[in-house]
Amino acid sequence: MPCVIYLRASRCLQAGDAVSFERFKTTNSQAEIGKTMKLLRYGPPSEERPGILTTDGTIRDLSGIIADVAAGSLLPDSIEKLRNTDTSVLPIVRGKPRIGPCVGGVGKFVCIGLNYSDHAKEAGMPLPVEPVIFMKATSSICGPDDNIVIPRGSKKTDWEVELGVVIGKPGKYVEQAEALSHVAGYCVINDVSERAFQIEGTGQWVKGKSADTFGPIGPWLVTTDEVPNPQDLDMWLEVDGHRFQNGSTRTMVFGVAYLISYVSKFMSLRTGDIISTGTPPGVGLGLKPPVYLRPGNRVQLGIRGLGQQSQQVVAD
């Protein structure tokens, strides 16, 4: 789910109300300065505005401070300036606006395959000795609660809850020990996949991962000080109320710092690029018999501290 700026609180926002996922208390404007943040984008597709979620659960508009949650606003100095903004004086966003992707203008959508040992086993594939890299078209990106549109000819559309890593400081040949300093924040991603397009025939992962709406991201971009250890995040996914995925980043084969360093050996990482770090077991492909999405299904997923997504499945 695209992002808002939100200050540190005792529990994360819940799905349901696009403006006020959760209510928090604040006593004065000083409580709105110098805190950790959840950034978001709200409004119609291609017209999203930058926002911040404050401690009382309201969205405040950031368009007077930054043009978008993208590019230069994700650099370390810009994040620090946003953190020191008194959000209590910013305009309140009324009503229940659509929440868009938490990052705009994404240059690269890099994905990591088979990065959880149990998922590789359920997919019937050997555990990789080095990260499996593939790309997802940026045109697949959509909001966290937008519909998943099953493409024409699809018979095997599947789900994958994943931790997304958004690059802040650009770099190449990044040392593993310095890798996390290049992160602007983290978000929830549903790496929606069409298995027949991905595996059968010529077996090209990109074409099985890149249909429009196959990349819901958000609701928030959660800054790094809110996530001190990205290798200790519980994640889950349900379809029509049945929990299929229930995992944790603790069981990643290759951790976030390693992945950033590894990917940067083969391509430069630029501000706003996204790395989707793989999924735990429980995808439809691995069930016996396999289960795939159909029009009318409701997909809900989340990662502890990063928010939740909810998507209706429809046909193209």
Residue 126: its pLDDT value, please?
83
Spell out the domain ranges in the chain.
109-315
Q: What percent of the chain has pLDDT over 70?
A: 89
Contact 239, 252 (CB under 8 A): no
Q: Does residue 303 surpass a pLDDT of 60? A: yes
235 beta partners = 247, 303
Burial of residue 181 (number of CB atoms within 10 Å: 0-12, 13-18, 19+):
middle
Residue 235: phi and psi, rounded to 5, are -140, 155
Per-residue confidence band for 170, with pLDDT thresholds at 50, 70 and 90? very high
Residue 131: its pLDDT value, please?
96
Residue 28: its pLDDT value, please?
38
Per-residue confidence band for 297, with pLDDT thresholds at 50, 70 and 90? very high
Average pLDDT over residues 124-142: 93
Residue 277: its pLDDT value, please?
98
Residue 35: its pLDDT value, please?
59
The tens digit of pLDDT for each residue in 39-76 reads 999 999 999 999 998 878 899 999 999 999 999 999 99
- Per the model's pLDDT, the better-predicted residue between 213 and 18 turns out to be 213
- Per the model's pLDDT, the better-predicted residue between 272 and 85 turns out to be 272
With CA atoms as reference, report the closest residue to 214 among 105, 135, 114.
135
Q: How many CB atoms lie within 10 A of CB 86?
A: 12
The tens digit of pLDDT for each residue in 23-40 reads 223 333 444 554 568 999
Give the DSSP H/E element, type plus range, for residue 199: helix 195-199
Per-residue confidence band for 314, with pLDDT thresholds at 50, 70 and 90? very high
Its pTM surpasses 0.85 = yes
The tens digit of pLDDT for each residue in 91-105 reads 999 999 999 999 999
Contact 187, 74 (CB under 8 A): no
Q: What percent of the chain has pLDDT over 90?
A: 79
Q: Which top CATH class is 109-315?
A: alpha beta
Residue 55: its pLDDT value, please?
77
Measured CA distances, 163 to 19, 216, 242 (Å): 23, 12, 21
Q: Does residue 123 surpass a pLDDT of 80? A: no
